[in-house]
Amino acid sequence: MLAKIASIELGEKWQARTAPSGAIELLAFSLKADESVQLNLFYRGKSVNPVAAERFHKLLGQVAHEVDPSELRLVEMVLRDASEPEYFQCDSARTLMIGGKMVLQVDGLWTQNRLKSRAFFADRDGDGKTVSEIHYLAPVSQFEQHLADVEAILKTVRWLR
């Protein structure tokens, strides 16, 4: 399955939605009641460079911790546009376990469309090169309202081995 996720249980509140054209591998979901609240599973379709892969692998190999800005700069290729202050205002970052796999969580605001984001970046194959992503996006006014539901969904993630 996409993003090396064997299963994820979304529940009845969510619906599949059409992925934007040009997406390499994207499973897109939104709340039935409000399509501006989204949960997306994404794979970018190519590996990061060897230096970025090594840094990402090393970051995820540590115990769960708050990630400081200097650590984030080391993996900016993994974060793509979320590493660019012009596009994304990062509020916090940390590593944590989801479904038995250490991931990087980055919280912040996409400045142009004003969507609040909680993104998770996972090492797809265990070598840091291939990154799977899960993105929760919502208007600022609705982000906290649906966060508990999203956290419950994340507890159902089972990764392919």
Domains of the chain: 2-130+137-144+152-159 (3.40.1000)
Dig out the tokens for 29 from the structure.
Answer: 């979901």
CA dist., res. 27 & res. 159, Å (int)? 15
Per-residue pLDDT, 44: 79
Q: What is the pTM of this model?
A: 0.92
- How far is residue 56's CA from residue 16's CA, in Å, rounded to a whole number? 30
How are strands ordered across the β-sheet holding 38-43? 14-17, 25-31, 38-43, 131-139, 115-123, 101-110, 88-98
How far, CA to CA in Å, does 21 sit from each of 24, 28, 104? 9, 12, 27
- Give the chain's end-to-end CA distance (angstroms, integer): 11
| 95-132 pLDDT, tens digit each | 999 999 999 999 999 999 999 999 999 998 899 999 99
Mean pLDDT by 10 residues, the chain (161 residues): 77 82 73 94 87 96 96 93 92 96 97 96 92 95 96 92 74
